[in-house]
Homo-oligomer: A and B are copies of this chain.
Amino acid sequence: MGITDETLKRRLDGFRKRMRDKEIDMALLVEPDNQYYVSGFRAISYSRPIICLVYLNSLQFILPELEKDHASQSARTDELYVYHEIACHRGKDTQFHRPLEHLLDRQPASSTIGVEVDTLPAALYCMLHERNFIVKDMGPDLMEMRMKKDQEEIHWIKQAGVLSDLALESSLHHVQPGISELELDSFGDKKLLEAASQQFPDQLIGFADWTCSGITRSFMPHLASSTRKLEKNDVVVHSRQVWVNHYRAENERTFLIGRPSNEQKYCLELAIEAQAQAMQVVKPGVCAKDIDLAAYHVFEKHGYGEHVQHRTGHGLGLTEHEEPYLRFDNELQLEEGMVYTIEPGIYVPGVGGFRHSDTVIVTNNGFESVTQYPRSLEDMIL
């Protein structure tokens, strides 16, 4: 469980090299996945801010008292600044602002501070701005570093993939008219937690899933599961996500109950074919956009181009969506160790939504899919 010291050292060395290249004196990180990536510590934070400060020669955290022991155990940190919320500590720091102000006041005038401009709250940005610090974005640096996975990361992503297949099998095995979307999900949840408990002792496992059933709901690509009951002849898009020690795999299947219409079968075949075409393109050196376009052209060629609503896939790892994004306009070249979903879909009014999603790793000469559940039309008519 957790990241080895060697890996963390390599990451911090790489991050600090980028800091030096940009002449950054200190980086202030708020995004929990980025904090975990450089420190090994990830908390459930809710209303209590946690701030990670990376200096060229130390790593420090500002955090609430209830995370102190957790951070002491898992963060590779040089200093913890704790703020309190209990009466007996009323003379100490009782909000995160004071220790942060204290640290910023110690920073030489006109220092350059690295931040994540897409997630740093405006309130914190203003604290830096008022002190006349130069602010530079390091969000893209972290995204670039995280985009290519190392062996430890790939190991956990593969385990997540194996568990997601088991969950999918259990959920699809229990499909029948009358059970709700949420009940369908829960069969997979239970199976995966049983299997995870046997196979991976003392690890952190998590999951998310949603099911969009029927013509109206499957037409919308992103909906949380509801208590709607499956009906005879429904089209259903079932999405399963699993993470092992914070590393994720995504696994989605569209299935048809009973006697689907010919157009529903045709649309699902197109989605399967588009995914297969996109997979064939994957290898190092190819651009992200080439994968997107390979899928899109299948739909377009058959007259369904206008029913595409979203790109072909997205990177994943610590975060559910990260680079590389498989979009028509992303020139990024793929490299060995990148991980992303391939999930082209079409959404046809009055017919339904059709999308399989698999998580693939770029290898030195092609790709490996960490999710292996059957994809064919025959397997998807239940």
Q: Which residues of A contact B (CB under 8 A)?
A: 1, 43-44, 46-48, 64-70, 85-88, 90, 94, 115, 117-126, 135, 179-180, 182-183, 185-186, 189-190, 193-194, 196-197, 200-206, 210, 219-229, 292-293, 296, 300, 305-306, 308-311, 314, 320-322, 325, 327-329, 347
Alpha-carbon gap, A223 to B47, bound state (A): 15
Alpha-carbon gap, A136 to B173, bound state (A): 54
B227 touches A66 (CB 8 A): no
Q: For A194, A210, A222, A225, which residue has the most chain B Cβ atoms within 10 angstroms?
A: A222
Q: Which residues of chain B have C-beta atoms less than 8 A from A46's C-beta?
A: 314, 320-321
Q: Which residues of chain B have C-beta atoms less than 8 A from A205's C-beta?
A: 182, 225-227
How many subunits of this chain does the assembly comprise? 2
Task: List 8 additional contacts besides A66-B220, A121-B121; criterion CB under 8 Å.
Answer: A65-B310, A69-B220, A122-B124, A185-B193, A197-B229, A200-B227, A205-B225, A206-B224
A156 to chain B, nearest CB (A): 13
Q: Which residues of chain B have C-beta atoms less than 8 A from A296's C-beta?
A: 86-87
A66 touches B310 (CB 8 A): yes
A226 touches B202 (CB 8 A): yes
Q: Which residues of chain B have C-beta atoms less than 8 A from A85's C-beta?
A: 310-311, 327-328
A202 touches B227 (CB 8 A): yes
A311 touches B189 (CB 8 A): no
Alpha-carbon gap, A201 to B65, bound state (A): 42
Q: List 8 A-B contacts (CB under 8 A).
A: A46-B314, A47-B322, A66-B222, A68-B309, A86-B308, A117-B123, A183-B193, A197-B229
